[in-house]
Amino acid sequence: MLKVGYIGLGLMGKPMARNILKAGFPLVVHNRSRAAVDELVVEGAVAASTPAEVAEQVDVVIVNLPDSPDVEQVALGAEGILEGAHEGLIFIDNSTIKPATARKIAAKLAEKGVSSLDAPVSGGDIGAINGTLTIMVGGDGAALEKAMPILEAMGKSITLVGDAGAGQIAKACNQIMVAAQMVAMGELLILSKKAGADPQKVVSAIKGGAAQCWALDVKPPRLFAGNRQPGFKAYMQAKDLNIVLDTAREYGVPLPGTAENAQLFNAMLQMGMGDLDNSAVVGVIEALAGEELG
């Protein structure tokens, strides 16, 4: 059985690593803060002190980190994966980063015989906990075939999109749609409330028709209960939208709707709501409309 390393045990990474452990794979873990490491060690994982130490011990090393510079540092920097890399190692990145960075890392690791898969995920903390994530993959098909049992421990939909960077392009496209859904949901909730209709009944009325989407299926019950905790943090949604817009500029693609949505999520950060769920963008609409959802 393949031995797996997991680096980055945050809101998403820890339950994903736990599902790998539950599936029976020997697991080596590393994280900047120790508490999550200790938690998984109690459950059967082995701790490592550096990313290089993880890479030395495993067949497949996975990272799940906040942004492009973080992944590049852990993969290529001092005491990073490259220093511990060996021929035949498979590197998988569950983070959401720039496609150009994914391609750079893949090229550098390939020089030491390492295959790379950029494999960002969608489905939030619920999907991470339940092992039902959607995973979009860029990279070598043979490496994906070898690593597939590991990915199947974390997700239910795994798609090879193309070569290195293609998984991150798919995730950028995913985040265009996610942001649009969250903003549209916030707008319809506040419009219905201020115009005198019960937002809960409005959602019940429309979610079975053409407006049906994941956001309307999952998020309203939490919002109606006053729960705006993540989920998927708003500051990460804002970061992802900046990746989308940077990539769009690189290829000369106008994204006017996404640019406007990015401004709303950046406003959340300025309003001190960056650690709330991305659905809490409704708070920006509340402030602009002078109406609270309740």
Per-residue pLDDT, 44: 98
Residue 175 confidence (pLDDT) above 90: yes
What band does 50 get if pLDDT is binned at 50, 70 and 90? Answer: very high
Q: Token pair of 138, please? A: 């860029």
What was the pLDDT predicted at 294? Answer: 87
**Secondary structure (H, E, C), the chain:** CCCEEEECCCCCHHHHHHHHHHCCCCEEEECCCHHHHHHHHHCCCEECCCHHHHHHHCCEEEECCCCHHHHHHHHHCCCCHHHHCCCCCEEEECCCCCHHHHHHHHHHHHCCCCEEEECCEECHHHHHHHCCEEEEEEECHHHHHHHHHHHHCCEEEEEEEECCCHHHHHHHHHHHHHHHHHHHHHHHHHHHHHHCCCHHHHHHHHCCCCCCCHHHHHCHHHHHCCCCCCCCEHHHHHHHHHHHHHHHHHHCCCCHHHHHHHHHHHHHHHCCCCCCEHHHHHHHHHHHHCCCCC
| Catalytic hit among 171, 193, 219, 239 | 171
From the candidate CATH numbers 1.10.1040.10, 3.40.50.720, 1.10.260.40, 1.10.10.410, the one assigned to the domain spanning 170-289: 1.10.1040.10
Question: What does pTM read for this prediction?
Answer: 0.94
Look at residue 120 in the predicted model and tell me its pLDDT.
98
Q: What is the pLDDT of residue 11?
A: 93
Q: Output the CA torsion sign for 164, 170, 173, 174.
A: negative
CATH superfamily of 4-163: NAD(P)-binding Rossmann-like Domain (3.40.50.720)
- For 201-258, the pLDDT digits (tens) are 999 999 999 999 999 999 999 999 999 999 899 999 999 999 999 999 999 999 999 9
The yes-or-no answer on residue 171 being catalytic is yes
Predicted local distance difference test score (pLDDT) of residue 133: 98
pLDDT in tens, 215-224: 999 999 999 9
pLDDT digit string, tens, across residues 67-91: 999 999 999 999 999 999 999 999 9
Whole-number average pLDDT of the chain: 97
Parts of the chain belonging to CATH 3.40.50.720: 4-163
Q: What is the spatial distance between Cα 47 and Cα 110, in angstroms, rounded to a whole number?
A: 26
Output the CA torsion 30→23→155→18 (10° steps): -30
Give the per-residue pLDDT at 239. Answer: 97
What is the average per-residue pLDDT within 126-145?
97
Query: Looking at residue 284, what is its pLDDT?
Result: 98
What is the reported pLDDT for 6? Answer: 98
Residue 100's pLDDT band, with cuts at 50, 70 and 90, is: very high
Ranges in the chain annotated CATH 1.10.1040.10: 170-289
